């Protein structure tokens, strides 16, 4: 493989994907911070128009990722090329995982390795529930041969940027710097022992992210008049699964939140605005169902939507 900074024939640049990393940055079109970039708004099913669950809260010129679904780094680069400077893939170095379901973590090898391959030197700071350290260790083991070749071969890759510093969380303040304070809280995701939601406080605004959850009072408590509530939602049952519809109805009730339930939750949480993601159901029907029970502004997110609180 190739490294950024090398002299690369233009034909290779085009097919290697490195062109974006070597060209001048696109004109900055970032809105006032903080804001949210939806990288993937889908669920486990391989929807071509919706990548796996992942978003970024941008504050202080930095992207704080929440969940790392499939496509996370390519979607970040798509946002960067549209003018969101903080989404430069090489600068992605912090992520908060809500829970260890594969749709929320399948992009971890991508986030660990791709920014490094194009020149990231900082280790990835990775926050999540218990189990995230073992996952990080095992991903590093899985790619040991790749890391060996890239660091000892002609690529001369740096020996720091593929590393993951994993931080296992319990509910409470998870992280704080000059730009953001991140608070983790427990949600109700079926049989998971600990699934997390996150509240970001930045620039006088509050953004609450549900992760995957059935209706949870902890959302109401942690939002409590928040500027933007980002919540998962379903309307009807997921398509393409195996097993009876009764089984799926039971599962959805214990693990996820219906549009009617979310409208009620957002109202009781006094959310100033609502954005729905992790979508199961038709977006127009979801919008209509949410607006039926919640009076504030509603966004049913698409991939690469940029939403301000």
Distance CA 85, CA 22 (A): 14
In the complex with Zn ion, which residue's Cβ is closer, 91 or 212? 212
Q: Could you give the 3-state DSSP secondary structure of residue 25?
A: coil
How far apart (Å, rounded) are the C-alpha atoms in residues 208 and 246? 31
- Min dist CB 11 to Zn ion, Å, is 39
Q: How far apart are CA 83 and CA 186, in angstroms?
A: 34
Q: Shortest Cβ distance from residue 118 to Zn ion (Å)?
A: 28
How is 30-95 classified by DSSP, letter by letter? --SSSEEEEEE---SS--TTS-SSEEEEEETTEEEEE---TTHHHHHHHHHHTT-GGG-GGG--EE
| 278, containing H or E segment | strand 274-280
Nearer to Zn ion, 68 or 202 (CB): 68
d(CA 291, CA 289): 6
CA 301 to chain centre: 13
- What is the rounded CA–CA span in Å between residue 125 and residue 105? 14
Is 62 or 256 the residue whose CB approaches Zn ion more closely?
256
DSSP annotation of 182 reads E
Output the CA–CA distances (angstroms, integers) from residue 267 to 46, 218, 264, 274, 275, in the order listed: 32, 14, 5, 10, 13
Residues binding Zn ion (CB under 5 A): 101, 103, 212
Of 101 and 188, CB closest to Zn ion = 101
| Residue 131 beta carbon to Zn ion: minimum distance, rounded to whole angstroms | 13
Measured from the CB atom, the residue of 102 and 245 that comes closer to Zn ion is 102
Peptide bond into 254 cis (omega under 30): no
Strands 181-187 and 195-202: antiparallel
Which CB atom, from 84 or from 187, has the smaller least distance to Zn ion?
Answer: 187
Q: Which is nearer to Zn ion, 50 or 101 (CB)?
A: 101
Q: Min. distance of Cβ 138 from Zn ion in angstroms? A: 19
CB of 136 to Zn ion, least distance (A): 19
Write down the least CB distance from residue 98 to Zn ion, Å: 8
Find the shortest distance in angstroms from Cβ 232 to Zn ion: 7
């Amino acid at each position: 493989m190739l490294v950024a900074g090398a002299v690369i024939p233009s034909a290779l640049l085009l097919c290697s994907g490195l062109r974006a990393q070597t060209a001048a940055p696109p004109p900055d079109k970032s809105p006032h911070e903080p804001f949210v970039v939806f990288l993937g708004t889908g669920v486990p099913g391989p929807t071509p128009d919706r990548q796996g669950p992942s978003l970024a809260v941008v504050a202080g010129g930095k992207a704080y990722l929440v969940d790392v679904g499939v496509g996370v780094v390519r979607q970040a680069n798509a946002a960067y090329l549209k003018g969101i400077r903080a989404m430069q893939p090489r600068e992605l170095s912090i992520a908060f995982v809500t829970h260890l379901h594969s749709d929320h973590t399948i992009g971890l090898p991508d986030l660990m390795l791709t920014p490094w391959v194009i020149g990231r030197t900082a280790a990835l700071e990775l926050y999540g529930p218990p189990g995230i350290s073992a996952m990080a260790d095992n991903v590093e083991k899985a790619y040991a041969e790749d890391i060996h070749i890239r660091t000892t071969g002609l690529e001369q890759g740096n020996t720091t940027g593929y590393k993951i510093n994993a931080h296992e969380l319990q509910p409470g303040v998870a992280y704080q710097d000059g730009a953001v304070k991140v608070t983790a809280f427990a949600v109700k995701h079926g049989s998971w022992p600990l699934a997390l939601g996150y509240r970001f406080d930045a620039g006088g605004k509050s953004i609450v992210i549900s992760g995957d959850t059935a209706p949870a009072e902890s959302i109401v408590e942690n939002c409590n008049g928040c500027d933007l509530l980002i919540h998962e939602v379903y309307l009807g049952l997921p398509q393409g699964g195996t097993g009876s519809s009764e089984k799926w109805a039971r599962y959805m009730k214990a693990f996820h939140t219906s549009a009617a339930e979310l409208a009620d939750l957002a109202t009781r949480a006094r959310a100033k605005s609502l954005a729905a993601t992790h979508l199961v159901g038709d977006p127009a029907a979801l919008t209509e169902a949410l607006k039926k029970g919640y009076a504030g502004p509603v966004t049913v997110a698409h991939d690469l939507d940029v939403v301000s609180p």
